[in-house]
Amino acid sequence: MLKFLSISNYALIDSAQIDFEKGFSVITGETGAGKSIMLGALSLIMGQRSDSSSMNDKSRKCIVEGHFYIADYNLKSLFYQEDLDYDDETVIRRELLPSGKSRAFVNDTPVTLNSLKVLTGSLIDIHSQHQNLLLGDDSFQLSVVDTVAASFDLLKQYRNKYDKLSNLEKEKSKVIDLNEKMAADKDYIEFQLSQLSGAKLKEGEEQELEQELKQLTHAEEVKSAFATSHHLLNNSEFPIVDGFYKVKTEIEGVVEYIKNGSDLLNRLESLDIELHDVAREIEELGDNIEFDAERIRVVQDRLDLIYSLQQKHKVSTAAELIKIEDEYRNRIEKLESFDDELNKLSQAIKSQRLETEKTAGELTIMRKAVFKDIENRITSMLYELGMPNARFSVFYKKTELTWNGADEIQFLFNANKSGELSDIPKVVSGGEMSRLMLCIKSLLSSAKGLPTIIFDEIDTGVSGEIADKMGRIMQGMGEDIQVISITHLPQIAGKGDFHYKVYKTDINDKTVSEIELLSNDDRVVEIASMLSGSELSNAALSNAKALMKR
């Protein structure tokens, strides 16, 4: 429950601290006094979007802080889920900075607005007048049934299965679309693949061919260079090989007299061996090099083929062409394996649909089980609220699988004995809408176990005895949960266990809103003012006392 609310620098509220108690509390005040401002501040710690224009003094930050006692509401798992520190008395704070940014904290731990909404959604429910429109919304009606049926855990399981089914069906559609596109391109892909595979490409092949072509086209120059080199090494007037051999022989004769002579001799021997190998290789290469016009033509044709394929596919190496060839081959293989892949997906979808339908059926059973209870309890409360002929029914129709299950649920209503049951918005007046919504909120609060519910003028459109009965229902709800009602009706204000008044006052040439908890005597005066206006009569005072006693 909400124990304490502190508001600083929000709209007309410069600074306010309010202690709240269990039971049924009422908040009254003249129109424009600031009752809605307090709700606006409270909505900030519930994760609503902030607006810097709501800051009265733009030079300092706005702070709204709420203290909630939550020991009795089994919320530890929710805190764990949101990675928050749990405390029986949890402090939620929202700060709006002059820069326009905002920050939120739970027990001094920074949190996102989404986490804030998740947490406060289990702590407090603010019912404003526009929420009456929800009565005609199918999703809201379904959520009422799920709340009473306590079926949200099963609904979560169902949605997980439904999402999996939807993803499988999307995947199947993608595979079919891709196959159709690939099938349309099949001839083109096969032609490209046949060209690439027919070329029998090898990685790095073009570099080897380019080198061979250079050698072939310069065969005479190469052969002449090898012949000259061979002559200098072996057959000249002073052959290099023989000369180097003589050098080695000379050193061998004096090696024992030279420091580190053996190292020098080893190096000479190595060079001698290497020189003989080079001479022999030059001779062999020279003998093997011939001008071969046919081979030149073959190499040039091969390179032309590779170059044309590179240009066609906008790549620069044979390795890239091989990669494209592999991709084309994979696409053809995928096309040929389409039937197998489609069959696997179809089987998976069939299995997942059966599992999803099974859970949807269990969800339907849970929902249907509470229809009569909802109808009876709401009809009974409407009777208490002066609608003895009211009829309320839960209409059900089975549907295809949707994210909410396979059920279409609709609330039907008629306030009279005669006439057909119809959609609520078609047959409900403003006062009837308020009474009907109060009944549903009462039903939800008892089923959901919310710590706190706040009614913002839910009594709109009613008066007299009906207002008195609405006050009794809220008073009864206050026995189980904390109920706070903002009201203009003295009949409801008189039912409160605690009574707060919001009013405007001038401080230092500035108008601000204040809120205070009224004493018993002050309550009599406030309720009498609501009955008779600014001039209090003895009759109004007596009537106020009577309302409070009732």
Q: Which of 327, 14, 10 is nearest to 193 (CA)?
A: 327
Query: Which pLDDT does position 396 carry in this prediction?
Result: 94
92: CATH: 3.40.50.300
Give the integer Cα–Cα distance in Å for 344 and 407: 30
Average pLDDT over residues 268-279: 87
The first and second tokens of residue 511, run together, are 């108008």
Q: What pTM was computed for the model?
A: 0.62
The answer to the question of residue 309 being in a domain is: yes
Predicted confidence band of residue 384 (pLDDT cuts 50, 70, 90):
confident
Using the 3D structure, point to which of 296, 316, 336 is the last residue of a domain: 316
Closest CA to 44 of 70, 10, 12: 10
Q: Where are the alpha helices (DSSP H) in 289-337?
A: 293-312, 318-336
Task: Work out the pLDDT band at 149, boundaries 50, 70, 90.
Answer: very high
Query: Does some domain include residue 59?
Result: yes
pLDDT band for position 131 (cuts 50, 70, 90): low
Both 112 and 215 in one domain: the answer is no
In a domain, 327, yes or no: no
Distance set, CA 289 to CA 262, 276, 281, 284, 286 (Å) = 41, 20, 12, 9, 5
Number of domains in the chain: 2
| Residue 65 included in any domain | yes
Residues 6+ apart with CB under 8 A from 104: 45, 47, 92, 93, 94, 95, 110, 111, 112, 113, 116
Work out the average pLDDT over 333-345. 79
Give, rounded to a whole angstrom, the gap between the first and last alpha carbons of the chain. 26
Is the pLDDT assigned to residue 132 strictly greater than 80? no
Residue 170 domain-assigned?
Answer: no
CB 536 within 8 A of CB 64: no
Tell me the average pLDDT of the chain.
86
In a domain, 354, yes or no: no
| Total residues found in the chain within this entry | 550
- Given phi > 0 = left and psi -120 to 50 = alpha, else beta, which region is 392? beta
**What pLDDT, on a 0 to 100 scale, did the predictor assign at position 451?**
84
Q: Is residue 478 part of a domain?
A: yes
Give bridge partners of residue 102 from the DSSP assignment: 96
Task: Give the pLDDT confidence of 418-449 residue by residue, as tens digits.
Answer: 778 888 877 777 778 888 888 888 888 777 66
**Res 156: pLDDT:** 92
Last residue of a domain, one of 316, 346, 363: 316
Does any domain span residue 138? no
Model confidence band, residue 508 (pLDDT cutoffs 50, 70, 90): confident
pLDDT at 375 over 70: yes
Q: Same structural domain for residues 109 and 215? A: no
Task: Convert the pLDDT of each residue in 158-216 to its tens digit.
Answer: 999 999 999 999 999 988 887 777 776 777 887 888 888 888 888 888 888 888 788 77
Name the domain boundary from 260, 286, 316.
Answer: 316
| Domain of 267, in residue numbers | 205-316
Q: What percent of the chain has pLDDT over 70?
A: 97
Q: What gap in Å lies between CA 512 and CA 41, rounded to an integer?
A: 15
Nearest to 176 by CA among 388, 345, 390: 345
